[in-house]
A and B are shown apart, each in its own frame.
Chain A
Amino acid sequence: MQDGFVGRSVPRREGHDKVTGATAYVDDLSLPGMWHGVTVRSPVARARLLGVELGEGVPWHEFAIVGPDDLPGPNVVKLIDTDQPLLAADEIRHCDEPVLLLAHPDRAMAERGRAAVRLRLEPLPAVTSLDDALRGDVVVWGRDNVFREYRTAKGDVDAALADPDVVVVEGVYETGAQEQMYIEPQGMIAQFDAERGVTVRGSLQCPYYVHAALVALFQLPPQQVRVIQTATGGGFGGKEEYPSVIAAHAAVLARKAGHPVKLIYDRVEDVRATTKRHPSRTHHRTAVRRDGTLVAMDIDFIIDGGAYLTLSPVVLSRGAIHSAGPYRCEHVRIRARAIATSHPPHGAFRGFGAPQSVFALERHLDVIAARLGLDPAALRRKNLLQPGEQTAVGQVVREPIALDRVLDRALALSHWHERRAAHEAFNRSTDGPLRRGIGVATFMHGAGFTGAGEVHLASVAQVQAERDGTLTVLAASTEIGQGTNTVFAQIVADAAGLPLSRVRVGQPDTAVVPDSGPTVASRTTMVVGTLLRRATASLRQTLRDAGLLPAGTGPVDPEVFTQAVARYLADHEQLRGEARYEPPPGIAWDEKAFRGDAYASYAWAAYVADVTVDLRTAEVRVDDFVAVQEVGRVVNPVLAAGQIEGGVAQAIGWALFEQVVYRDGRVANPQMTNYIIPTAVDTPPIRVEFMPPFLGDDAPSKGIGELPMDGPAPAILAAVQHATGAVPTAIPMLPEQLAQVLQEAQS
């Protein structure tokens, strides 16, 4: 459909409200009689909780106070496991764990109350590093501090590593925690009514996750729990699972207070208490021929899950699957473990484990290239997956991929060969403090839930025709900045053959929309967008079957459509099209063997970073960045490029600026003053290009949200290596850390 809206950069639907300040976020809302909630938290990483004392000088009788005994149901945050309590009851397992909830009509008084609560604690030994957790002297989870372990293998890795004709290269690569640092802190407003049940509205990605958590806590029928997403000021995964905790806290306070309760985190509380990207450590041992052919990969991937299991097994799984990259290799063994520590639980953050393992592999390839004296781009090209070949977990790539073309395009746009030579000449001849370098990363990112996840979700989306002939999109997918509203309208308008103005996309409200699954895993456009197209087609079919609309899938005269809907609704209560997820044929994942079709589709990319390193200050400046990817059909080029640019900037932050400092298990830098995200002067021009789809112009769209998080960090560190000759193996690589790496390289 060449004349449709898909493929065009139609403006963001809610754009006008956002640029005029009219958009209302949760903290902009106020309900009559609303109180303000606060959370009392643990100041230590691990302790026995002996008691809670309410200090003097506070009118406690004016407060609603909720402890673990005041909950209406199980003291559990409903996720994969049931190990995490909503409020710590006997044992504190991480710093800033919630212990007691307070609400008061006056916000300042609520804060006074929080400051006056004293926790009686008996300290217990904490585990504040991966090494401590692995040593196991102190066990904080299960028998061995291991939340989950996956193993998968193909070929004979040990024999291949022992082959005298190969070079074996070994390396250890580490990544730090990363704070999502959405500019809107987390928050919820809850109402409780004994007859009508619970209503919460707030900043969140996944309405039905919050819904499930509240149904479990309040033990109410699902229709008595209502979750409404308010305009959400960024999520990046940070508002995937944690909002369930805040919603539950606000709701139990509202029940106790008999008033609506607003619970908004300030920045310090948000950074300290909510989830971050999992820190990781990856050990690679690789057998490679002298010409650069990869023969065997032995990979040990570890992530720090924090104090509770939360979503760590799924993060681990995605990280493990991506750990061998888009490369051909006959012998591969992967061992992946999520480890328990006394850190606040790490959680979802754009990329979900893949950026960590991709960083390690791409860094390792540069180490191999240096060892063999090969151009890093040439080494990658030699090993890129071809159509019909298998990934590390045995998935056969059915698509006619041409990752070499993606790489070629990135090299051409970045003038790789010329700049590489020019930088080397400059570095050889200069007497000054500046060094220049260029680095590349090639990678893939699987979109949608891992393995059988989408089948289990069984997502549903609907389209409803209104009497005025407009269509309303009914989906639980949230607009969090990425463009859901706009993209959905484009897809539905085209499927209906109607103008864009005839399609409405409302704010998700579980009282109105079906469960389309969570807004995560780059799945919204790819999975839910496809459901909406099918739902719209089904609605059209209903009108055709009723003899009210002519056959065909092309444009429809809006007046004809309006009349058809009006006639249909004269005899029927409503007109809806619905679609439920169906897996693509021939897709199978074996969770036990950890093998098979891990994702229904992959996006493919090659990124190039060009940097300057100042040897005096050890500062790295990214001068230019090229991001080339194949993502199937691009629904909205401006929004899609915006996703890539934003992801690249976040990854630049992860690589060079953003260090979460844990001191005794507590975040020591929970402010924007001391946790530094990139500003406009820290980010380069980011040159984004989408390749023509491998499957042609009518190719389905793939997920893109997480993809740009994977490539930048290794490309930047590769460029630093090219510039300086030193081999940085860990991020974040702040000047302090790079200075040390440079010093070690000299001695």
Chain B
Amino acid sequence: MIDIELVVNGRSQRVHAHPLARLLDVLREQLGLCGTKEGCGEGECGACSVLIDDVLVNACLVPVGQCEGSRVDTIEGIGADPRVAALQRAFVDVGGAQCGICTPGMIVAASALVRTRPRATPAEIRTALAGNLCRCTGYVRIVDAVAQACGAGESEGGA
């Protein structure tokens, strides 16, 4: 067990954990940040997506020992950025969230796009979200929500 210092959602945190403990478990169990979900535990579904120093990762694959001194941003914190808050609103308005279990990861993954690629095309959005599985929506409204938040206003169709 070691002490690890990291900045989670803008706040300095010190956690005491095995260096190989999954970042996912440390976030959920030690820091009480349960918005990051576990869907598969092997980096396939993206429900545990978080940002480490602005890089999108699956928290189930990251040993917490690697996070020493890093910034970790989760669904609980990223809405502080108005562009991400707009993305979250778009998900509600357009119908991008159904059961909601993939939604935090989906929004974390899309937040990177919203921040860095305004006017992303639907094809770019689909590629950017290909690491996040959703079983409810068929992705149509997720893509629309991200497009809306990117300011593209471009829709692929739908009702």
Chain A positions near chain B (C-beta within 8 angstroms): 9, 11-12, 14-25, 27-28, 180-185, 231-236, 266-267, 480-483, 637-642, 645-650, 671-673, 677, 679-681, 683, 685-690
Contact = CB atoms under 8 A, between A and B. Distances in A.
Contacts of A641: 95, 140-141, 158-159
Given A14-B100, A18-B97, A23-B100, A672 B39 contact: yes
A19 B94 CA distance: 12
A599 B39 CA distance: 36
B37 A266 contact: no
Nearest to B100: A18
B17 interface: no
Contact of A686 (B76, B133, B158): B158
A481 B98 contact: yes
Count chain A CB atoms within 10 A of each CB in B36, B103, B138, B159 and give the residue with the most: B138
A185 B42 contact: no
B95 A12 contact: yes
Contacts of B76: 20-21
Contacts of B132: 679-680
13 contacts: A15-B97, A27-B37, A184-B37, A231-B100, A233-B100, A267-B39, A645-B139, A646-B136, A650-B138, A672-B45, A685-B156, A687-B158, A688-B159
B100 A687 contact: no
- Using C-beta atoms within 8 Å of the partner chain, give the interface range for chain B: 35 or more
Given A231-B100, A689-B159, 15 more contacts: A16-B92, A18-B103, A19-B97, A25-B37, A183-B101, A482-B98, A645-B138, A645-B140, A649-B139, A650-B135, A672-B45, A673-B44, A677-B135, A679-B132, A685-B158
Given A19-B107, A641-B159, A642-B141, A236 B100 contact: no
B148 interface: no
A366 to B, nearest CB: 24
A15 B44 contact: no
A687 B45 CA distance: 25
Contacts of B88: 16, 19-20
Given A11-B92, A645-B141, A234 B136 contact: yes
Count chain A CB atoms within 10 A of each CB in B35, B125, B131, B143 and give the residue with the most: B35
B129 interface: yes
A20 B77 CA distance: 9
B40 interface: yes
Contact of B42 (A235, A482, A649, A673): A673
Nearest to B128: A680
A622 to B, nearest CB: 11
B57 interface: no
A651 to B, nearest CB: 10
Interface in B34-78: 34-42, 44-45, 47, 74-76
A-B interface, 5 closest residue pairs, ranked by CB to CB distance from nearest: A21-B35, A233-B101, A481-B99, A18-B100, A649-B138
Contacts of A24: 34
Contact of B135 (A18, A19, A181): A181
A183 B135 CA distance: 7
A638 B98 CA distance: 11
Contacts of A15: 91-92, 97
B114 to A, nearest CB: 13
Contacts of A650: 135, 138
Nearest to A687: B157
A20 B75 contact: yes
Given A15-B92, A267-B39, A641-B158, A182 B99 contact: yes
A688 B42 CA distance: 34
A22 B35 contact: yes
A26 B103 CA distance: 16
A20 B79 contact: yes
B12 to A, nearest CB: 21
A680 B39 contact: no
B26 to A, nearest CB: 14
Contacts of A232: 99
A348 B131 CA distance: 28
A21 B135 CA distance: 18
Nearest to B33: A21
Grouping DSSP codes into helix (H, G, I), strand (E, B) and loop, the B interface class, with mixed when no group exceeds half, is loop
A183 B39 contact: yes
Contacts of A18: 91-92, 97, 100, 103
Contacts of A21: 33-36, 74-76, 103-104
Contact of A183 (B45, B74, B157): B45
Nearest to B134: A183
Contacts of B107: 19
Given A677-B133, A685-B156, A686-B140, A233 B92 contact: no
Contacts of A17: 100
Given A27-B38, A685-B156, A642 B95 contact: yes
Contacts of A673: 40, 42, 44
Contact of A685 (B34, B135, B157): B157
Given A183-B45, A645-B138, A648-B138, A672 B98 contact: no
Nearest to A642: B95
Contacts of B159: 637-638, 640-641, 688-690
A683 B139 contact: yes
Contacts of A23: 100
A182 B122 CA distance: 25
A690 B159 CA distance: 8
B35 A183 contact: no
Nearest to A672: B44
A335 B109 CA distance: 50
B85 to A, nearest CB: 9
A296 B61 CA distance: 58
B143 A680 contact: yes
B138 A686 contact: yes
Contacts of A687: 157-158
A671 B40 contact: yes
A22 B38 CA distance: 15
Nearest to B29: A30
A646 B137 contact: yes
B3 interface: no
A679 B39 contact: no
B42 A645 contact: no
B31 interface: no
A25 B141 contact: no
Given A641-B95, A641-B159, A683-B138, A25 B104 contact: no
B152 interface: no
Given A22-B35, A672-B40, A673-B42, A681 B126 contact: yes
Count chain A CB atoms within 10 A of each CB in B131, B137, B143 and give the residue with the most: B137
B122 to A, nearest CB: 8
Nearest to B90: A19
Contacts of B94: 638
A17 B107 CA distance: 13
B34 A28 contact: yes
B116 interface: no
Given A15-B92, A267-B39, A685 B140 contact: yes
Contacts of A181: 135
B94 to A, nearest CB: 7
A266 B122 CA distance: 33
Given A22-B35, A183-B45, A680-B129, A638 B92 contact: no
B120 interface: no
A679 B128 CA distance: 11
A493 to B, nearest CB: 19
A16 B89 CA distance: 8
B102 interface: yes
B39 A184 contact: yes
B81 interface: no
Contacts of A11: 92-93
Given A21-B76, A183-B134, A645 B158 contact: yes
